[in-house]
Structure 1
Amino acid sequence: MYIKRERYLQKIRPYYNVDLIKVLTGVRRCGKSILLEQIEEEFVSNGFDKTHIIRINFEDLQFEKIRTAEKLNSYITKQIKDMDKYLIFLDEIQHVRSFEKVLASLRATINCDIFITGSNSKLLSGKMATLLVGRCIEFRIMPFSFAESYEYIKVIGKNQPPDEFIIDYINWGGFPLRFSFSKESDIKRYLEQTYLGILDRDIITDKSKINRQNFEKIAGYIMANAGKEFSSKNIQSYFENQNEEGLDRKTIYRYLDKMDKACLIDRVKRFNIVGKQAMSYIEKQYAVDTGFRMINTNLVNFEDTFFLENIIYNELVSRDYEVFTGKTYKGEIDFVAIYGRKKCFIQVAYYLGSRETIEREFGAFKPISDASPKYVFSLDRFDYSRDGISHINIVDFLLGKVNINLS
């Protein structure tokens, strides 16, 4: 069973039959292959000839020998029988060396519409960017959002009020296949195997020259502390105190870059609210899914907000907002969400259950003279809006029942 990923299809549809290569990037097992199937189904339902569809999944054993540009080009061109349009779907294309040469050639010589996927956030960099500049459009695909997850559990017959399901989602995230399991021990085992599979396939390969033990320690630490203020010096000191060797700052940053490329984390920059500008250095990391954070933490601490922050960050990104952490002269704001030239400010809390918490979350906006909208998100059903600052229930926001405004 699957749900239609309408949020992404709405973004991609305007580019059907447009002479651009459609590139879908995202972490492994987030649903890119199913999304390709849904795109193909839409073409066929609109009358496209099935005999003019070429589909290759490079993780399928039958295509294991297609690993060079020459072999890929030969395989595809042999299937072109006429001048009519062909649909070409290439799933996990990063397995093919110099694949960008094939894409450039196909686009130039064949009447075709090309869709590719890859589990590398930098798929459109380097040689590909040079060869295909102005010829690609990228769409970032993420694991199920809360709304997609809630829709999916209803499809598979699990009825649960959304205010209860949010706790499950906070703990175990939105990787589609994890919903095949009901026991937490089975969910945890699946997520651990998925996580290790990403390390093996996309990061710690024979050519990477990465110390597996050291990488797993750094990656685990980064995942467990996703959302917290980042300091390579603090990480280095932490591991030095554990008598670990070979974990200098250069190595830490190299491992961070590897995690970023494998779509495991987002590296989030600061926004100087006083100066009204993005700052170049990176302040925090957020996990692509809270399930990966959970397996490296083993506990959701409801005294902090980092799991919820992670969910709100991923939701904003999936809605195409540009997201920063905010810096004021007195402290920080969890998020500055920007779309075009408009923005808003967001604070995130689990519950506003005490006067102290209310004062802290709403008071964080006091140093900001900017008139852009300000929001406090929490799981509370009571509306705590005050002083021109809006309070939003997180579940309602994630389900699309309420939205934020920007100015």
Structure 2
Amino acid sequence: MIIREHYLARIRPFFDSDLIKVLIGIRRSGKSVLLKQIAAELLEKGVEESHIIYLNFEDLEYSFIENEMDLHRYVKERAADDRRYYFLFDEIQNVRNFEKAINSFRATLDCSIFLAGSNGKLLSGELATHLSGRYVSFRIMPFSFKEMCMIKGIAEDAASEKDFMEYLDYGGMPQRFLMHTEAETKVYLRDLYNSIVLRDIVQRSRIKDVDVLNRIVEYMVLNTSQTFSAKSISNYFESVNRKISTETIYQYLEYITSSLIMNKAVRYDIRGKKILTRSDKYYLSDLGLAKINNTGYKTEIGALMENVVYNELIHRGYEVYVGKTTKGEIDFIVMDGEKRVYYQVAYLLADEKVMQREFGAYDAVKDSYPKYVLSMDKFDFSRDGIVHLNIIDFLLKK
């Protein structure tokens, strides 16, 4: 186990804040471990163990807590005095109407509350209504490439292209590093995928046509990093003699992104400074899930690298968009208030034509914000104020 200091450093300032701390991430991405690391730090600070209440609602021990009243009753019984308590609730979405209990705790107890869940809708609906402006959220991703190197004992200056290719193949799901063989890893990832599809999508959203769902997910996996719409998916179904309405597809896309197996990156009009509402891009939260859901079609390495960079930027806590210019597209814009940073991703800058395509993508961007081109090349091809970085160096923050 590694200490996820990258996340802890961002959460730590809120340990004693009245704001509710919400950790959201795909199933098995490390949220539970992170909550336990937070609990360990609280103990080190001198908080009594009896004043740290950790509940995992996937544990049968707490299966009797089904709704807000069960949760309220149980916590009230354990919070026996007027001193501050720390509540860490894992997979909180499994408790019906949990937000009502959370709101009650905030109003009646001296407490600091941490919530973790594997549903993108955790911050919508009643929670957002009751707690608007009263929470801070953190997106928890599987291990980054840098964290993979840490857990495997690879020094940063020793990280190789072979290590990077392994990451492209099998991703960063924490438990996959406990597997001893490639076969074990594939079985684990397959079981994880089935768990996400069955429990977080099919059962939660009450989907009846599982075949359609699987086909949509497969299509999205094969087209990761590509711009597409419900219409393009509808055309795909027509090619395999199935007719699915765009309305149904949009609904399924919502279910898929809510499970956090894939993330939607919307397009941003750089010139008009506005968000565009059509033709989004979708990225896998972990590329290992592509390995076991690929029917033989090999996704281009450039698309996989683009997916890795998107995940890394989300891991770093940024707001990420796809840039639309008058002449084309910028892979990513990182927004920070009025500031922004641009990124282009390519496999190799093999010749002048490729370099012109990647560096030339910035020709229509007239501002002075930082602009980067990332690739596997080790030679520095920086030009015209645009910085070129080796992608491994970028991921390791060298």
User: Superposed, which structure 2 residues align to 1:277-316 within 5 Å?
Assistant: 277-297=274-294, 301=298, 303-316=300-313
CA 1:41–1:299: 2 relative to 1, 3 Å: farther
Q: Write out per-residue CA displacement over residues 93-124 of structure 1, whole angstroms, 9 at most, x where no aligned residue.
A: 11110000110111111121111111111211
Q: How far 1:281 moved relative to its partner?
A: 3.3
AA in 1 matched with 2:247: K
Counterpart residue number, 1:103 = 102
Counterpart Cα distance in 1 of 2:212 and 2:272: 39
Once the two structures are superposed, the pairs formed by residues 220-369 of structure 1 within 5 Å of their partners are 220-245=218-243, 247-297=244-294, 301=298, 303-369=300-366
The residue identity in structure 1 corresponding to 2:218 is G
Render the CA deviation track for 1:53-98: whole Å, top value 9, x for unaligned: 2121111111112111111111111112211111111110111100
Residue identity in the other structure for 2:68 = A
In structure 1, what is the equivalent of residue 202 of structure 2? 204
Match of 2:375 in 1: 378
Amino acid at match of 2:263: D
Summarize the alignment of residues 11-26 of structure 1 with structure 2, pairs less than 5 Å apart: 11-26=10-25
Structure 2: 5+ residue stretches without partners = none
- Structure 1 residues not aligned, in runs of 5+: 402-407
- 1:180 equivalent in alignment to 2:178: yes
Work out the CA distance in 2 between the residues paired with 1:153 and 1:195.
Answer: 24
- Equivalent position of 1:60 in the other structure: 59
Using the TM superposition, give the Cα deviation of residue 226 of structure 1 relative to its aligned residue in structure 2, in angstroms: 1.4
User: Against the structure 1 CA distance between its residues 160 and 375, is the aligned structure 2 distance closer, same or farther, given a 3 Å change threshold?
Assistant: closer
Give the structure 1 partner of residue 74 of structure 2.
75
Task: Kindly indicate whether the alpha-carbon contact (under 8 Å) linking 2:205 and 2:255 is maintained by their aligned counterparts in 1.
Answer: no
Per-residue CA deviations over 1:237-291 (Å, capped at 9, x if unaligned) read 111121124x211111111100111111111111212223332335211111111
Deviation at 1:344, TM superposition (A): 2.2
SS state of the match for residue 336, structure 1?
strand
SS in 1 for 2:347: coil
Is 1:138 the counterpart of 2:141 in the alignment? no
TM-score by length of 1: 0.93
Alpha-carbon contact 1:267-1:282 (below 8 Å) kept: no
CA deviation digits over 1:294-326, x for unaligned, max 9? 322366858551110011011111222221111
Distance 2:180 2:390 in 1: 27
SS at match of 1:123: helix
Q: Give the Cα separation in 1 of the matches to 2:14 and 2:234.
A: 46
In the other structure, the counterpart of 2:212 is 214
Q: Partners of 2:174 and 2:289 in 1: how far apart?
A: 13
**Residue 39 of structure 2: aligned partner:** 40
- For 1:207 and 1:336, the matched residues in 2 are separated by 32
**What amino acid maps onto 1:263 in structure 2?**
L
Q: Is the 8 A contact 1:24 1:32 kept in 2?
A: yes
Residue 206 of structure 1, CA deviation: 7.0
Q: Does the aligned pair in 2 maintain the 1:226–1:293 contact within 8 Å? A: no
SS at match of 1:7: helix
Change (3 A) 1:248 1:369: same
Instruction: Give the letter for the 1:350 counterpart.
Output: Y
Is contact 2:222–2:299 with CA below 8 Å preserved after alignment?
no
| CA distance in structure 1 between the aligned counterparts of 2:106 and 2:166, rounded to whole angstroms | 45
What amino acid does structure 1 have at the position aligned with 2:380? Answer: D
The residue type equivalent to 1:272 in the other structure is D
Tell me the SS of whatever aligns to 2:277: strand
Q: CA deviation at 1:184?
A: 2.4
Distance in 2, Cα, partners of 1:389 & 1:299: 37
Task: Report the CA distance between 1:393 and its aligned residue.
Answer: 0.9
Distance 2:131 2:87 in 1: 17
Structure 2 Cα separation of the partners of residues 187 and 355 of structure 1: 40
Q: Kindly, what percent of the aligned residue pairs are identical?
A: 43
Residue type matched to 2:275 in 1? Answer: A
Tell me the secondary structure at the aligned position of residue 203 of structure 1. Answer: helix
TM-score, normalising length from structure 2?
0.95
The residue identity in structure 1 corresponding to 2:159 is P
CA distance in 2, matches of 1:6, 1:195: 27
Distance 1:301 1:388 in 2: 35
How far is 1:293 from its partner? Answer: 2.5
Q: Distance in 1 between matches of 2:149 and 2:247?
A: 41
Distance 1:277 1:215 in 2: 32
Paired residue for 1:85? 84
**d(CA) in 1 for partners of 2:204, 2:336:** 41
